[in-house]
Every structure is written in structure tokens, then in C-alpha cells.
Amino acid sequence: MATKECPSCAMEIDKKEQACPICGYEFPPQKSSLIWVALLMLILFSYPLIRLVLSLF
């Protein structure tokens, strides 16, 4: 079971929970577009590095 820590009370709760059952802290929704942008940036910035490493061999 994947867990996450509540920033308010530091309790470990199920990652799928939207609110902490202990203190009631509501987790902000994760935007899927942010994840896609981060993944795209990682690919774009790592591509030149991979080409550089491969050209050394």
C-alpha cells in the first residue's frame, strides 16, 4: 500500500485519500498537465546529454 505524509499532522495515510482522516487536511488536487510538462522537460534536457555521452564512445 502506497502512503503519503500529511503535512499538517505528519500521519502516514493512504496515497489515494483526498483528506487526512486525523486532522482533516485536504490535499490539493494534482494536475495531470503538470506531470506531462515535467516529463517532457526531462526528456528534452536529457536528450543532448545522452547524445554527448554516446559520442564519447
Q: Which three cell numbers stand for residue 33?
A: 498537465
Cα separation, 33 vs 15, in Å, equals: 19
Domain range annotation of the chain: 3-55
What b/e string do you get for 16-30 counting C-beta neighbours within 10 Å, with b at 16 or more?
eeeebeeeeeeeeee
Q: What is the pLDDT of residue 11?
A: 95
Give tens-digit pLDDT for 7-37: 999 999 999 999 999 999 999 987 788 889 9
Give the SS3 label for residue 37.
helix
Query: Sign (positive/negative) of CA torsion 14, 17, 18, 23?
Result: negative
Q: What is the pLDDT of residue 13?
A: 95
